[in-house]
Amino acid sequence: MELQTRIIEDTLLVKIVGELDHHSSEDIRNQIDKLLSSNSIINIIFDLSHMNFMDSSGVGMFMGRYKKIKMKNGIPVMINIQDSNRRLLKMSGLFNIYQEYKDLDDAILAIRRGSDE
Partner 1 sequence: MNNKMKLEILSKSENESFARVVVSAFATQLDPTIEEITDIKTAVSEAVTNSIIHGYNKDDEIIHILCEIIDNEIIVEVIDYGMGIENIEQAREPLYTSKPHLERSGMGFTVMESFMDSVTINSVPGVETKVVMKKSIKSIKSY
Residues that bind partner 1 (CB under 8 A): 19, 21-23, 25-26, 29, 53-57, 59-61, 63-64, 84, 88, 91-92
Nearest to partner 1 of 21, 100 (CB atom): 21
Q: How far is the CB of 102 from partner 1 (least distance, A)?
A: 22
Q: How far is the CB of 28 from partner 1 (least distance, A)?
A: 11
Nearest to partner 1 of 43, 85 (CB atom): 85
Three-state SS at 107: helix
List of residues 6+ apart from 57 with CB closer than 8 A? 20, 21, 22, 25
Nearest to partner 1 of 8, 95 (CB atom): 95
Q: How far is the CB of 20 from partner 1 (least distance, A)?
A: 10
Contact assessment for residue 67 and residue 94, using Cβ atoms and an 8 Å cutoff: no
Residue type, 112: R
Q: Is 72 exposed, middle or buried (0-12, 13-18, 19+ CB in 10 A)?
A: middle
